[in-house]
Amino acid sequence: MRTQEAGVDSTPGARRSDKGVGAALQRKEDKRHLFGRGQFTCDLRFPNLHDVAFLRSPIAHGRIVRIDVPEAVRKQVILAADLKGAQAIRAVTDAPGFKAADYPLLAFDKVLFVGQPIALCIGRTRAEAEDIAQQIEVEFEELPAVVDMLAALEPSSPLLHDSWGDNLYLAREFEAGDIEQAREAATVVIEREYRLNRQAGVPMEGRAALAFWDERLDELVFYNSTQMPHQVRYALSLHLDLEERQIHVIAPDVGGGFGIKNIVYPEEIAVAAVARHLRYPLRWIEDRREHLLSSIHCRDTLYNVKAYADVNGRVLGLDVEVRVDAGAYATWPNGPNMELGMAIKNVPGPYRISAYRARGWTVATNKSPIGPYRGVARPGACFCIERTIDEIARAVGREPHKVRMENMVTPDLMPYRSVTSMLYDNGDYPQSVEKAVDLLDLPAVRERQARGEPDGRLIGIGFASYTEQTAHGCGEWITRGVPIIPGYESATARLLSDGSLHLLVGIQSHGQGLETTLAQVAHQELGIDFDRISVRHGDSSLCPFGMGTFASRSMVMSGGAVAKACRILKGRIQAVAAQMLQCAPNEVEVRNDRAFGPNGDVSLREVGQVAYVRQEGLPRDGSPTLDVNATYSPAIDTGVFCYSTHGVVVAVDPDTGYVEILDYAVVEDCGTIVNPLIVDGQIVGGVAQGIGNALYEEIPYDEHGQPLATTLADYLLPGSTEVPEIKIAHMCTPAEHTEYGMKGMGEGGAISPPAAIANAVRDALAGLGAELCETPITPRRVLQAIHIAENRNGVSGGES
């Protein structure tokens, strides 16, 4: 393991530069957005553009008996039967016992959730398309809705997918070590049920698709607000009876994704399927209600844990049951099962746990399908283990952070094979806890707590740690049984005739600032002026193949590819410059937009001129082009682990149940940082979403399967008054297996907040004997917990 606090300079191949790796540069992306000149899909203008509105199911479960479309609008309405050459979405996974839950582009026989698309309506404006949708009448034979995932598994439950015989997508088991022995040896047993309720992702720009047939190129042009344009091209070819050469996917500016746009949706394929036969461009711009109804949802997971510990709080074993309410259908590409697999894998967290048993079930219900939202399963897994660690600490009468540290994997054990076979590469987990304790000044908080608040509120402090697998390769994805196995990312580095540089990459940037950070990497390698580098992404025809931006992978994977391509390009530059400078290529040094030989130097512009338009000056051997494509995957495919401890101080109002965050600290280690501004921005943004998860965001369903949060007046997103200032401290343990020592860090911020905040609330309410085991921690839930504790303790609803 490399030493703590190691900087970029200690990493081979890296050198200090004010524009390279490690520089807090302002972003290249900013200007267009600050002038309102971003080009999101909804901002694109084409002549004769038509708008789509979907008629959606108003009921959760039923058979479609009849669809009446008025004759006057029949031509503007597309029903399932009108979709020629288009397939229902099928996500086939390798999971044993896999059951298909094909997701029709438009429902034709049954509807399985409120919001499921039934008809695609075309208007000259969106308003007109909605008018048409409103004129269609659908007669349903309503079936009882399956809403509760526990009831869904009862033999008497109605079925979503008739051929299955039950409502179970998948059951999974995992066991390592001797859980019975742990149970027998335990002096402390903690048993809890934790629930993370259903949420949505809600990027500011919803889903969007704009499609037309380009007659000249004989191809479908598909603008799509997506995180993965190349995978979309593949998906369209699978579902549309088109060859990939005939599909051009462009992700223009994308207004946030967070995993929601890592799915190819029925609405999107339906728009493409219809537009390819039209003579005008067709677009669908999702509205907010559609988003809350029918974009993927997330979390909705129930954990039942039994933890066994010794008298000091050392965890001897964990026995966990996980149930995931995955909604009605399998989404493309990864289907419904990833959440469960990752939950089981991640519950043990950053701890040394030798006995672990997990059983899990992924359940089908009449709700929108779930999918991968920032953190994927780990906010729940973290909640499960971190709440439990705190309960163990309480049971043995110790400060939770001490119990936490003592159970953690220590640096001397790295690399460490976790009980679920993940390979934690390096880092000092306990130190992250210690630093978070310092940042919040735990003794001062304890003192304040003991003193009491003049307004009667109760102070609490809580911590939660995680270690997050990032930038993993094929091996890891194969274990998930998913149909798409990402391994590499690719990049093209192209020096142009004037010495400026194009980087073409297969990932997609939608807020992460990769147009900036990838240019920093190229500057690091080639010394080319940062302002003379353009990054191009999000275009399946322009850019080399890449999987896209998800799983906290793009900076490591695409950054690695850019570094590699630039190094090869540098060799080509050296070869051309050597010819010009009459020296050996290895004598040429490339920096500051110039190539230096022993007896002189030339500008990269001059090198570019030779390579493109004065080719008589090229060396006779070797490739003459300054155009390099390279692929990259880290030296190991088990991922590099970014870890972090979050700490939070809250004030809980026992009269109202309101929780205010008084202080919040993040200590994290993502290895080498490419751009500190962007890393901190990702952390704070993640924490804000985690606060939403912890305190605000929820889509409840009533007993008929009607979602009760379909506007932003009901689905509460954290605003500027709900997110506090966040203190951030960095540790830096460079990864040993990636370029520069980078680790992924895009999702991490969102993992710990629910657990840390719940622990803090628990701490605040400890005196009342109340605890919170469910997110979001609403005022109602807080008061209910207090109410239950009071009844248990025989206290009447007294004054506080």
Partner 1 sequence: MSSIELSVNGKSVRTTVDPRESIGAFVRDELNLTATHLACEHGVCGACTILIDGAPVRGCITFAATVDGQKVQTLEDFEDEPLMNLIRSCFSEAHGLQCGFCTPGMLLIARDMILRGAAGTSDEIRHGLSGNICRCTGYAGIVKAIQLAAERARAAGLAAQPA
Partner 2 sequence: MKPAPFSYSRAETLDDAFRIFAAADGEAKYLAGGQTLGPMLNLRLTQPDALIDIARVAELRRAEERPSSIVLGAAVRHAEIEDGLVPDASNGLMRRTARGLAYRAVRNRGTLGGSLAHADPVAEWPNVLTALNAVILLRSIDGMRSVPIREFLIGYLTTGLEPGEILVGVEIPRPARSQRAGISKLCRKAGEFAHSLAVTVIQDSQPARCVLGCAASTPILLTRVGALVASVSAWNADMRSDIRAALEEDLREAGVEPDPFEARTHAATVSRSIMEALSA
Q: Tokens representing 332?
A: 């493309």
Q: How far apart are CA 744 and CA 375, in angstroms?
A: 12
Sketch the per residue contact string, 678 through 697, with partner 2: x for CB under 8 A, - otherwise.
Answer: ------------------x-
If the CB atoms of residues 568 and 717 are measured against partner 1, the closer one turns out to be: 717
DSSP strand pairing (774-775 vs 188-200): parallel
Q: Are the C-beta atoms of residues 425 and 497 closer than 8 Å to each other? A: no
Among 11, 20, 22, 27, binds partner 1 (CB under 8 A): 27
Q: Are 590 and 526 in contact (CB under 8 A)?
A: yes
Where in 225-314 does DSSP place strands (E)? 247-250, 282-285, 297-309
**Residue 718 contacts partner 2 per CB under 8 A:** yes
x-or-dash string of contact with partner 2, 265-304, rule CB under 8 A: ----------------------xxx---------------
Looking at beta carbons, which pairs linking 596-604 to residues 24 or more positions away fall under 8 Å? 602/577, 603/499, 604/495, 604/499, 604/528, 604/573
Alpha carbons 739 and 560: distance in angstroms, whole number:
6
Q: How far is the CB of 706 from partner 2 (least distance, A)?
A: 15
Residue 62: enclosing H or E segment and its boundaries?
strand 62-68
Residue 313, helix vs strand vs coil: coil
Alpha helices by DSSP H, listed for 162-217, are 179-185
User: Per-residue contact track with partner 2, 778 to 797, x per CB under 8 A?
Assistant: xxx--xx--x---------x
Closer residue to partner 1 in complex, CB, 23/422: 23
Distance CA 264, CA 90 (A): 11
CB of 229 to partner 1, least distance (A): 16
Interface residue with partner 1 among 334, 365, 512, 579 (CB under 8 A) is 512
> Is residue 529 a contact residue for partner 2 (CB under 8 A)?
no
Select from partner 2, partner 1, none the partner in contact with residue 796, using the beta carbon and a kind-dependent cut-off of 5 to 8 Å: none
Taking the complex as a whole, the smallest distance from the CB of residue 452 to partner 2 amounts, in Å, to 13
Partner that binds at residue 689, options partner 1, partner 2, none, CB closer than 5 to 8 Å by kind:
partner 1
Beta carbon nearer to partner 1, 43 or 655 = 43
Q: How far is the CB of 33 from partner 1 (least distance, A)?
A: 3
CA atoms within 13 A on the CB side of 344: 25
The half-sphere exposure of 145 on its side-chain side, counting CA atoms within 13 A, is 21
Q: Which one of 32, 63, 84, 792 is in contact with partner 1 (CB under 8 A)? A: 32
Token pair listed for 101: 């839950």
Which residue number, 152 or 651, has a Cβ lying nearer to partner 1? 651
Q: Between 203 and 430, name the residue whose CB sits nearer to partner 1.
A: 203
User: In terms of CB distance, is 29 or 763 closer to partner 1?
Assistant: 29
Q: Cα–Cα distance between 763 and 772 in angstroms, integer? A: 10
Position 72 contacts partner 2 (CB under 8 A): no
253, 300, 663, 668: which one binds partner 1 (CB under 8 A): 253
Report residue 77: phi and psi, to 5°.
-115, 130
Q: Cβ 339 to partner 2, closest distance in Å?
A: 27
Contact region with partner 2 (CB under 8 A), list: 80-88, 128-136, 240-248, 642-650: 128-136
Structure tokens at 446: 């304890």
Q: Figure out which of the listed residues 395, 396, 716, 768 binds partner 2, where binding follows CB under 8 A.
A: 716
Range 54-88 burial, b when 16+ CB lie within 10 A, else e: bbbbebbbbebeebebeeebeebbbbbeebeebeb
Q: Quick one: 39 or 582, whose CB is closer to partner 1? A: 39
Name which of 26 and 793 has its Cβ closer to partner 2. 793
Tokens of 527: 């010394």
Q: Is residue 203 a contact point for partner 1 (CB under 8 A)? A: yes
Question: What single-letter DSSP state applies at residue 736?
Answer: S
Between the CA of residue 532 and those of 385, 563, 625, 752, what are the distances in Å?
48, 17, 19, 39
Residues 724-743 that bind partner 1 (CB under 8 A): 725-726
Choose, by CB under 8 A, the member of 95, 132, 149, 205 that binds partner 1. Answer: 205
Q: Is 131 in the site for partner 2 (CB under 8 A)?
A: yes
Per partner kind, with CB cut-offs from 5 to 8 A, the member of partner 2, partner 1, none near residue 321 is none
Q: Which of 3, 599, 711, 796 binds partner 1 (CB under 8 A)?
A: 711
> Could you give the CA distance from residue 9 to residue 20 in angstroms, rounded to a whole number?
12
- β-pair partners for 204: none
Candidates 677, 729, 766, 768: give the one binding partner 1 (CB under 8 A): 677
For residues 271 and 310, the answer to whether their CB atoms sit within 8 Å is no
Using CB under 8 A as the binding rule, whether residue 127 contacts partner 1 is answered as yes
Which runs of E-coded beta strand occur in 670-756?
Answer: 727-731
Identify which of 488, 511, 639 has the alpha carbon closest to the alpha carbon of residue 565.
488
Rounded least distance, CB 713 to partner 2, Å: 7
Q: Which of 123, 608, 685, 744 touches partner 1 (CB under 8 A)?
A: 685
91, 122, 146, 202: which one contacts partner 1 (CB under 8 A)?
202
Residue closer to partner 2 by CB (options 353, 694) is 694
Q: Which of residues 595-654 bind partner 2 (CB under 8 A)?
A: 653
CA distance 405 to 351: 9
Residue 574 region by backbone torsions, left for phi larger than 0, else alpha for psi between -120 and 50, else beta: alpha
Residues in the chain: 800
Binding mask 154-193 for partner 2 (x = CB under 8 A): ----------------------------------------
Sheet of strand 168-176: strand arrangement: 168-176, 355-363, 315-325, 297-309, 188-200, 774-775
Answer whether 595's CB lies under 8 Å from 601's CB. Answer: yes
Residues binding partner 1 (CB under 8 A): 26-27, 29-38, 40, 42-43, 45, 125, 127, 202-206, 253-256, 258, 287-288, 510-513, 677-678, 680-681, 684-689, 711-713, 717, 719-721, 723, 725-726, 749
Residues binding partner 2 (CB under 8 A): 125-127, 130-131, 134, 287-289, 653, 655-658, 696, 711, 713, 716, 718-719, 721-722, 778-780, 783-784, 787, 797, 799
